[in-house]
Amino acid sequence: MAETRFGDRIVVKTGDITREAVDAIVNAANGGLMGGAGVDGAIRRAGGPTITEQCAEIIRTRYPDGLPTGEAAITTAGALPAGQVIHTVGPHWHGGAHGEPALLRSCHVNSLRVAVGNGLTSVAFPAISTGIYGYPPELAAAAASSSVSDFLADDAQLESVSFVLFGDDAYNPFVANAGM
């Protein structure tokens, strides 16, 4: 397992986000919050049906047209070691000129706002949008790290933010381009 620390509160490492014992893990979800592949599928398989049930309730009561890209919502973590799951919808990559960087930054900032609003102190992120949504990992790392660093500069509540990445193919470009 590879791990790099950036200051006192940020760590980038390889691993399985579903095994993180933090207050919340972040799910790279789709707008319907009804499950998918990649990180979302792994979280739902490991966490059990309660996550999907609560996601359906969020869509039914708060976001009938789907959770907008860049926004975040929280559910229980079911059987996961984490206490909560924060679901966020990352942007699809269309070359970078369609607001993708701002939307990806919003995913991170809004997820952290949800964490703080719920009294949480530790959060773990995957590499949002870098899978089937096609966001280049190097650019995603830069957007993610700058938004998290900027948020933490003004926040004292969050004690730990991790980026838990699946393998060296995600880890290496993230550490090289994090800019923290």
- The residues assigned a catalytic role are 40
Burial of residue 34 (number of CB atoms within 10 Å: 0-12, 13-18, 19+): middle
Residues in CB range of 97: below 8 A, 6 or more apart: none
Beta partners for residue 76, in sequence order: 84
Helix and strand numbers, DSSP H then E, in the chain: 5, 7
Taking CA atoms, 154 is separated from 32, 114, 119, 157, in Å, by: 32, 15, 16, 10
Q: How far is CA 106 from the centre of its chain?
A: 11
Can you tell me the distance from the alpha carbon of 120 to that of 114, in angstroms, rounded to the nearest whole number? 9
